[in-house]
């Protein structure tokens, strides 16, 4: 069975940066796109960014220009680099690959 585990969340100040990691076990990592979702308290889960298996990327308007998504297939790991963080970025961030979800990692942006 595939396991997906996020890490790298934490408390950061507005304007700061954070890099989230998504490690996936199994043999599927390089075959599927990688998605990052987030869910803030009281809000719907939203797609933040995705990267396809051949490297095409896209971002939600709210994070465009600030976030970067990447993947290292040799390490079965994906990344979400978050720069110029804002309070509204506070949420639990989830990695999603095919039908598999991570447990989420909390990102809190606060002074």
Q: List, for residues 48-65, the tens digit of each pLDDT value.
A: 999 999 999 999 999 999
| Higher per-residue pLDDT: 28 or 40 | 40
Indicate the pairing of strand 57-59 with strand 46-51.
antiparallel
CB within 8 Å of 104: residues ≥ 6 apart: 6, 39, 92, 93, 94
pLDDT at 1 over 80: no
CA torsion angle 49 52 56 61 (round to 10)? -20
pLDDT tens digits for 74-110?
A: 999 999 999 999 999 999 999 999 999 999 999 999 9
For residues 4 and 99, is the Cβ–Cβ distance under 8 A? no
């Amino acid at each position: 069975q595939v396991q997906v585990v996020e890490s790298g969340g934490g408390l950061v100040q507005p304007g700061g940066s954070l890099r989230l990691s998504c490690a996936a076990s199994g043999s599927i990592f390089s075959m599927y796109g990688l998605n990052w979702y987030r869910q803030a308290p009281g809000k719907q889960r939203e797609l933040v960014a995705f990267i396809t298996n051949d490297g095409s990327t896209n971002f939600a308007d709210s994070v465009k220009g600030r976030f970067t998504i990447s993947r290292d297939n040799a390490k079965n790991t994906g990344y979400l680099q978050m720069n110029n963080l804002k309070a509204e970025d506070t949420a639990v961030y989830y990695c999603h690959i095919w039908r598999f979800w991570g447990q989420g990692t909390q990102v809190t942006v606060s002074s």
